[in-house]
Amino acid sequence: MIAGIETIVFDLGAVLYDIDYARIEAEFLALQDRYATTDGVPRVRYSRTYQPDIVTQYEIGAISTETFREGMRTAFHIEQASDTEIDTAWNAILVGLLPGRIEFLQSLRSRFRLGLLSNTNALHIAAITEECRDLFACFDAVVLSHLVGTRKPNADIFHHTLHQLSAEPAGTLFVDDSPQHIQSAAGLGIHTLWLADHRNFEQAVLGLIAPAGEERPIA
């Protein structure tokens, strides 16, 4: 248990919203099988700890959706793929809201400031906005990488999030599934929870925060 937690910042993918990296790889491989005409075509690799540079550029809003599509076509030799095919393959990672997350966040709102900090992009957010409307309403601040021009694990996005929440590192708990993001936050003095298995989410969070009535009041 960590004393003095006033703010909890949650990642989105694999913490609150179920995602499957393998589905992106499989969908783009299918496009390559359909359209690539040369040997030695590079395969799309995308995981919790690795992504192509063009994805990073898209996640920080440095390129438009149109440029992202064209870049994926060129890099992975799928020049004939339509916008719809690219978008469908890219959005294949999105599985759905994890059960009970909204209710759990609502139960925390009277005791903690809540923030959302996500590395994401315009296509993914457009695809889930309606589904996640009630989820996003639980937060005092929502920080999306493609809108602020930086991404985890960069220190500046953590500083930005803390500022948006009027929070101090020592009074903040950050929950994420990626170890490199956890390491960065911890280096800034933020308390962290590495959620290696989203099935243990509620138990893991509750195990670190003070029971109701024991936390410090929020100023």
Using only C-alpha atoms, what is the Rg of the chain?
19
Residue 159 to residue 155: CA distance in whole angstroms: 6
Which residues does residue 9 pair with via DSSP β-bridges, in sequence order? 115, 174
Of 139, 140, 142, which Cα lies nearest the Cα of 102?
Answer: 139
Contact 100, 126 (CB under 8 A): no
What's the pLDDT tens digit per position in 193-202? 999 888 889 9
The pTM for the full model equals: 0.93
Rounded to 5°, angle at Cα 195 from 205 and 54: 135
Across the chain, mean pLDDT equals: 94
Domains and CATH numbers, the chain: 7-16+98-206 (3.40.50.1000), 21-94 (1.10.150)
Residue at 211: amino acid letter: P
Measured CA distances, 107 to 138, 174, 218 (Å): 10, 17, 16
Q: Which helix (H) or strand (E) holds 116?
A: strand 113-118
What residues contact 95, with CB distance under 8 A and at least 6 apart? 17, 18, 19, 20, 23
Confidence of residue 49 (pLDDT cuts 50, 70, 90): confident
Region of residue 190 (left: phi > 0; alpha: psi -120 to 50; beta: else): beta
Sign of CA dihedral 106, 176, 130, 161: positive
pLDDT of residue 216: 43
**Is the pLDDT score of 219 beyond 80?**
no
DSSP assignment letter at 119: -
What's the pLDDT tens digit per position in 151-183? 999 999 999 999 999 999 999 999 999 999 999
Of 108, 192, 116, which Cα lies nearest the Cα of 161?
Answer: 116
pLDDT of residue 218: 40
Measured CA distances, 69 to 12, 58, 72, 137 (Å): 23, 10, 5, 30
Least confident of 1-5, 7-11, 26-30: 1-5
**Is the pLDDT score of 215 beyond 70?**
no
**Is the pLDDT score of 217 beyond 80?**
no
> Which whole number is the average pLDDT over 80-100?
98
